[in-house]
Amino acid sequence: TDGSAYWVYPDQVSKTPEAGEFVPRGAFIIRGRRNYEHHLQMELAVGEIIYQKERKVMCGPVDAVKSQSAKYFIIVPGRGKAGKTSAAMAKDFNVPEEEVSRILPPGDCEIKQKIWPEETPEEE
């Protein structure tokens, strides 16, 4: 799934209208050229990490989660209901569904890939 976004320099952003302009409350005015970026990957990863000696579930950029976790899911915006997606991940992580659903972005998503290596005996 691809997305698009644009960026501007800080001096292009203003909350002050020019004569004859109206700016609604909470809005910004962007003046000048918008620099568009297209075909941005819309992927996040959900993985299991150890934080302060506790097992936690983390959601973030794929590279960040991949560096911290051997077991993770890659999720994308989609037609799958968020509740079903979080329930499936919670079952595999063996955590309450609420723990997964609260870290997911708003809206519906689906699992694109499951990275789950085979269990290996722990070294002593």
Element spanning 88, H or E: helix 82-93
Q: Does the residue 87 lie in any domain?
A: yes
pLDDT, tens digit, 9 for 90 and up, residues 100-115? 999 999 999 999 999 9
- The pLDDT tens digits of the residues spanning 18-53 come to 899 899 999 999 999 999 999 998 999 999 999 999
Residue 13 neighbours by CB under 8 Å, 6+ apart: 28, 29, 30
Domain range spanning residue 64? 42-115
CA distance readout (Å), 71 to 33, 67, 105: 42, 11, 20
- Residue 124 falls within a domain, yes or no? no
Are 97 and 46 in a shared domain? Answer: yes
In a domain, 120, yes or no: no
pLDDT at 2: 82
User: Within this chain, do residues 35 and 46 fall inside the same structural domain, yes or no?
Assistant: no
pLDDT-derived band at 119 (thresholds 50, 70, 90) equals low
**76 & 97 share domain:** yes
Nearest-angstrom CA–CA distance, 15 and 34: 17
Q: Residues 52, 62: one domain?
A: yes
The string of pLDDT tens digits covering residues 52-102 is 999 999 999 999 999 999 999 999 998 888 889 999 999 999 999 999 999
Judge if 48 and 109 occupy the same domain: yes
> Into how many domains does the chain fold?
2
Q: Is there a domain that residue 103 lies in?
A: yes
69 in Cβ contact with 47 (< 8 Å) = yes
φ and ψ of 71, to 5 deg: -110, 115
Question: Are 66 and 20 in a shared domain?
Answer: no
Q: Which two tokens stand for residue 78?
A: 């989609």
